Amino acid sequence: MKKEELFIEQKRTNVAMSVYYDLYTSGNPQKHDEQQPLYARVIPSGTIDAKKFVEMVSKANGFSEATIEGCLQAVTNELQHWLSQGWTVEVGELGHFSLSLKCERPVMEKKEIRSPSIHLNKVNLRINKKFRESLEPLQLERMESPYRSNNNLTENECRTRLIQHINEQGCITRSDFMRLTGISRNKAIELLKEYQEEGIIRKYGGGKTVVYLKIQ
């Protein structure tokens, strides 16, 4: 049984699943001679892509996949409309969406910059208290992260880990790839672009929802 299928089965039977975590230092290079505090970080179980998520919602609630996809698209379209007009939008029990902006360059005086030099930075999501509380208490279990790396992997080893992950999980995100290999963000971007050009993977989605799929 695949991991996603096992997840669905456990959800149906209310079997509790642990959230695995590991402890890391902040890795501040300016304090490499000092003992640094440890921080807990979730070890990802994998990535559930949009198609799989719709399928799981359909099986759990009885709505057709087409109905769920239509509702999600309608919510997305309406959210985009009101955010683009400067509104903060509350979406169900999930939370409040809003925009943040950035200037092209640092400025000290208001007259030094005009509207064309100000751009969208990101879309913020402030999770509602009720949604956050519904996640707790988490069933946590510490384990040694399989994503730890000595950063000495060759590019072929990075490629092998990427393909193995996609074969097991169906897709991979850039963050997943970085954790699997221990490489930097810039290196991950470089390799993922290279793998696309080689015809190994293809990019699906946009923005923060981008995943990479294996080309059959």
Cβ burial 27-39 (10 Å sphere, 16+ → b, else e): eeeeeeeeeeeee
* pLDDT tens digits, one per residue of 122-154: 899 999 999 999 998 888 988 876 655 555 678
pLDDT of residue 71: 96
Fold of the CATH domain 147-214: Arc Repressor Mutant, subunit A (1.10.10)
Indicate the average pLDDT of the chain.
Answer: 82
Residue 24 confidence (pLDDT) above 90: no
Residue 112 confidence (pLDDT) above 80: no
Task: Count the residues in the chain.
Answer: 216
Residue 192 confidence (pLDDT) above 90: yes
* pLDDT tens digits, one per residue of 32-68: 556 667 778 888 777 888 999 999 999 999 999 999 9
* pLDDT tens digits, one per residue of 151-181: 567 888 899 999 999 988 888 998 888 888 8
* pLDDT tens digits, one per residue of 69-94: 999 999 999 999 999 999 999 999 99
pLDDT of residue 29: 45
What lies within 8 Å, CB to CB, of 179 at 6+ separation is 44, 145, 147
Has this prediction a pTM greater than 0.85? no
DSSP-assigned letter for residue 34: S
DSSP-assigned letter for residue 141: E
Report how far apart, in Å, the C-alpha atoms of 91 and of each of 57, 83, 98, 127, 131 are. 17, 12, 11, 10, 11
